[in-house]
Chains A and B, each alone.
Chain A
């Protein structure tokens, strides 16, 4: 946030640098079960983001001292490939990815019925193959589909979206230039049925009124994104019937 630039991000007609209107999402596509070994998986393409989420478990938590006698431990690992960004990213976890892993784990644990699996662990691996702003939200949105696809009981899916402030305007779903040169970034994830917020971070500068406007936009968008998640899951069962008894 806050890097000064001469690039004009919103034109006279109110359109954004990639031609979108303020409340327009980038194209989103989700496909389930893209991997064989994992218990559940999903590929999300959200604008230029390409992210795979895979789920293993519930399985016995290891090492044993990590076990919780009351519930399953949810462990998400968010990782960016070296080639996913313009300048090569040094492989392996860094401070940013560790923080993101933590908030994603917490968001998913709020949705998963962990109390049904004491002493177990649910691993969620999120690999960002191509990054184009909003990767944590796209990764989490895909991870929720992967968890559901693995047949793990959940209270609801988890659906995320970002809003932000660009050239003084509140807009939905920041693209890369807006993320780099905008004035605020507000990723939010909710349980869509109830609207309960399970992930929220913010950096930049927003007045209380701007925050209200941004969250209003996000809540509207969540409905659309949630439908894409549900369609992906439905599609899994509609297309897999033909393969029974193969």
Chain B
């Protein structure tokens, strides 16, 4: 979590958040398991094969998908390739710097990637042009424009939504364009631990006082597809089991609300 002169929460703010949590409410009046309102704008960038701009509260990210023909990995000759990259743009936060990806953006990209990959959202076997020689490579590039907490879920929402509209440019090699074959809708739900509470979709202030973060990605079948515990701190096994159930429930309602 970046901390700078803006990042250090005042004691007054901290005790206010803690006091509200005791009443079962958040500083912005949300319930503990309530997501901020998200706006999803698919096809925001028409030059991309697929794209989506997502705002989650005051967090704003854009995911763009590009699809190019290329070589498969030697160990998966009959599968297309998926790569995910996140850039934390300097405009998004005072301490974000341009330059090579740092560990925060790498972890973020890998957790987003894992949810999409392990849920098998994209049917990579249908992205083979010529086995062992040529396949479609799906590049997801995510740019963070405005940072107010919970980038993992904002980036996952943006990627999933961008993939759902993405077109494979098969006409460029003499075929017919087709939409990216998708099988399910993975939803990640991130929770921060504050005191004894788990709060869903933490904003920046909540992330700054949190004592641990946990992300659980589920798909329609309710199974866990990816998980990540992050930040310094710990969770009890009971808290983790609670987080899994919360993620599954919240994920279900988000799926219906935004992709139903």
Contact = CB atoms under 8 A, between A and B. Distances in A.
Interface of A: 1-3, 95-96, 98-99, 101-103, 106, 109-110, 186, 190-191, 195-208, 211-212, 215, 219
Contacts of A102: 103, 106-107, 230
A205 B118 contact: yes
- Sorted from nearest, which 4 A-B pairs have the closest CB atoms? A202-B227, A196-B234, A200-B229, A102-B103
A186 B106 CA distance: 20
A1 B103 contact: no
Contact of A208 (B101, B117, B222, B229): B222
Given A2-B120, A200-B227, A208-B245, A95 B110 contact: yes
Contacts of A101: 103
A110 B193 CA distance: 14
A2 B245 CA distance: 24
B223 A106 contact: no
Interface stretch (B49-57, B200-208, B236-244): B236-244
A3 B75 contact: yes
B228 interface: yes
Given A109-B232, A198-B229, 8 more contacts: A98-B103, A110-B232, A110-B234, A195-B237, A196-B235, A203-B114, A203-B117, A211-B241
B231 interface: yes
Contact of A197 (B75, B109, B224, B237): B237
A163 to B, nearest CB: 12
Contact of A198 (B76, B103, B110, B234): B234
B94 to A, nearest CB: 14
B118 A99 contact: no
Given A99-B106, A203-B118, A219-B237, A208 B224 contact: yes
Nearest to A211: B224
B96 to A, nearest CB: 15
B225 interface: yes
Contacts of B76: 3
B199 interface: no
A39 to B, nearest CB: 22
Nearest to A87: B74
Given A106-B232, A199-B229, A204-B225, A95 B237 contact: no
13 contacts: A2-B118, A99-B106, A106-B233, A197-B234, A197-B236, A200-B214, A202-B224, A205-B224, A207-B222, A207-B224, A208-B223, A212-B241, A215-B240
Contacts of B110: 95-96, 99
A211 B114 contact: no
Contacts of A98: 103, 106-107
A215 B229 contact: no
Contact of B244 (A2, A96, A211): A211
Interface in B9-30: none
Interface in B210-260: 214, 222-237, 240-241, 244-245, 248
A101 B102 CA distance: 12
Contacts of A95: 101, 106, 109-110
Nearest to B119: A205
A201 B229 contact: yes
Contacts of A191: 234
A191 B236 CA distance: 10
Contacts of A109: 232
Pick the most buried of A99, A196, A202, A205: most chain B CB atoms within 10 A of its CB.
A202
A197 B24 CA distance: 25
Nearest to B85: A95
Given A207-B222, A208-B222, A197 B235 contact: yes
